[in-house]
Amino acid sequence: MNIKYDKTDPLSIEAYGKKMVGKTFLDIIQESSEPYETKQELITSYGNKKRKGGLGNLIEEVYFGYKANSDQSADFLEAGVELKASPYEYVGKGKVKDVRAGERLVVTMIDYQNPMEDDYFKSHVHEKINKMLLVYYLRNRNLPSNLDYPIDYVKLYSPTQADLKIIQDDYKKINDKIKLGKAHELSESDTIYLSACTKGSTAAKSWVPQYYNPEVKAKKRAYSLKQGFMTQVLKNYLVKDIDTYEPIIKNPAELNEQTFEDIVQNRIHQHNGKTDEALCVEFDRVYNNDKSLWADLALRMLGIKSNKAEEFVKANIVVKAVRINENNKIVESSSLPSMPLIELVDEEWEESKLYKYFEETKFLLVVFKKVGDRYVLKGSQFWNMPESKLNTVVKDGWEQIRKVVKEGIVFTPSQQSNGIVIKNNLPKKGANEVIHLRPHTSKSYYVFEDGTTHGSGNINNSEVLPDGRRMTKQSFWINNSFLYSVLEEHLKNE
């Protein structure tokens, strides 16, 4: 193959890469100089949807003309450029659709079996992400072949000053945990932008010894940039006409003195001792009993006037307002996004929506304590579900619920003073330390086997079950007692 770019020049590599825009992966094969028979072999090979990284390999080998490999150095070594091909997709219903990255961006494998490189700027991670040629293709699962996916965006990208500082802090946090011999406790939700994502299945071959803790094996993981982070890169640097969110860090120099987490907590903590009503006056927010009030106040304290902070979206950080009553109990359990029960039946644990949610989500818990008829701000903490709980207690609760759904939920009408109430045999709150399942809506709706209905709502307030019946929409909730147990002591004390 005749090389049509200067492999030592990033701009030449980008210019040649941009010629792919508007073409499909099939076009790249068909327009190559390979003989017909070889093209047919390439179509069969790269068109195999089970081939991991196949489309990226196609760009490397067929278009750019170099052999794909797992080398930890940058793909275009002389130019210091790493090639990353990744899908994007449109989400939403009707005419209102949003664009998002189709997945996290895997950077390079984490090597547990050798000493860690402390200096980020000498690491393979920096070498890989310092200058990336991003190739985004539209993943449309309705097309007959993945080779029909169109390549829409190609651009050189380097992290901004603020993002790079957060990535450096993330790299240190991951490596510090590994050096403590705790690689087996790593979670994607430990960090902000750069995460340690799982690689491989739960099979024994995906577990490897740790250099810093030879007695305990750890699951294979890779340094990766989170899906939310890559979505914002896609929006800000490639699509460009998509609305973006307000940043918490407006001056990157702030990150030279403190970590992102410290900045967030310090901004909130300077308001400790103020009532929710006083905070509403200070931040020009209507005081009411809307459940969004306390989370809204948290964002206002961070300088965010809308309901989305750019860094939180990129890092998949969820703000949870925690209200503690006079009896030192959290007022209510905390709901998670709706996860259809019918999908639960065919899920395996590590591919389940619940596992992925906890594995990838970090929470900012903002704590208010009831004093008289108002709530007083106590402070905040970052928290994520530890792997030790996720793969034991949470998994057990998920499996109990899944078993009942698979075998068929039993509905039992019960006459109460306020009318007929439909009870079921799903595990109750006390069955698991961490999670339980309960309605996601205040309006009930059931459809029985014979087609009869019951409830105060309508079909939109229900979800379909595997056997065709319908019940009120359910969701997982974090038990309020468990949430209280993970709070730092200074947030619980008077």
CA distance 157 to 154: 10
Token pair, residue 121, equals 């700027």
Q: How far apart are CA 429 and CA 243, in angstroms?
A: 40
| Separation between Cα atoms, residue 331 and residue 68, nearest integer Å | 55
pLDDT of residue 201: 53
Quote the tokens at residue 204.
Answer: 């024994």
What is the four-CA torsion angle of 336, 342, 344, 347, rounded to 10 degrees? -130
Nearest Cα to 193, choosing from 171, 176, 175, 177?
171
Q: Could you tell me the two tokens for 434?
A: 């961490």
Which positions of the chain have pLDDT values less than 50? 1, 203-204
Please report which residue ranges of 368-494 form alpha helices under DSSP H: 387-389, 395-407, 480-486, 489-492
In the CATH scheme, what is the homologous superfamily, with its name and number, of domain 10-239? DNA mismatch repair MutH/Restriction endonuclease, type II (3.40.600.10)
CB of 207 closer than 8 Å to CB of 410: no
Question: Residue 365 has what DSSP assignment?
Answer: E
Residue 375, Cβ neighbours under 10 Å: how many?
A: 24
Every domain range in the chain assigned CATH 3.40.600.10: 10-239, 252-384+481-492
Fold of 252-384+481-492: ECO RV Endonuclease; Chain A (3.40.600)
Side-chain-side CA neighbours of 128 within 13 Å: the count stands at 21
Compute how many other C-beta atoms are within 10 angstroms of the C-beta atom of residue 61.
16
For residue 4, what are the contacts with CB-CB under 8 A and spacing of at least 6?
A: 16
| β-strand pairing of 411-416 with 374-383 | unpaired
**Edge-to-edge order in the sheet of strand 194-198:** 105-109, 221-225, 194-198
Tokens of 407: 């075998």
Phi, psi of 424, deg, nearest 5:
-140, 170
C-alpha to C-alpha distance for 117 and 110, rounded to whole angstroms: 11
Instruction: Please state the separation of Cα 191 from the chain's center in Å.
Output: 11
> How many Å apart are CA 487 and CA 250, to the nearest integer?
29
Task: Determine contact, residues 304/246, Cβ cutoff 8 Å.
Answer: yes
* Token pair listed for 486: 């993970």
pLDDT of residue 204: 44
* Three-class SS state of 381: strand
Percent of residues in the chain assigned helix, strand, coil, to nearest 5: 35, 25, 40
Write the CB contacts of 453 (distance below 8 Å, at least 6 apart in sequence): 445, 446, 447
Phi, psi for residue 166 in degrees, rounded to 5: -65, -40
Q: Are 323 and 330 contacting, i.e. CB atoms less than 8 angstroms apart?
A: yes
Q: What is the pTM of this model?
A: 0.91
Q: Which two tokens stand for residue 49?
A: 């949807």
**Encoded tokens for 437:** 């399942």
**Residue 203, pLDDT score:** 45
- For tokens 């308001």, name the residue: 271
Q: What is the pLDDT of residue 479?
A: 97
Amino acid at 171: Y
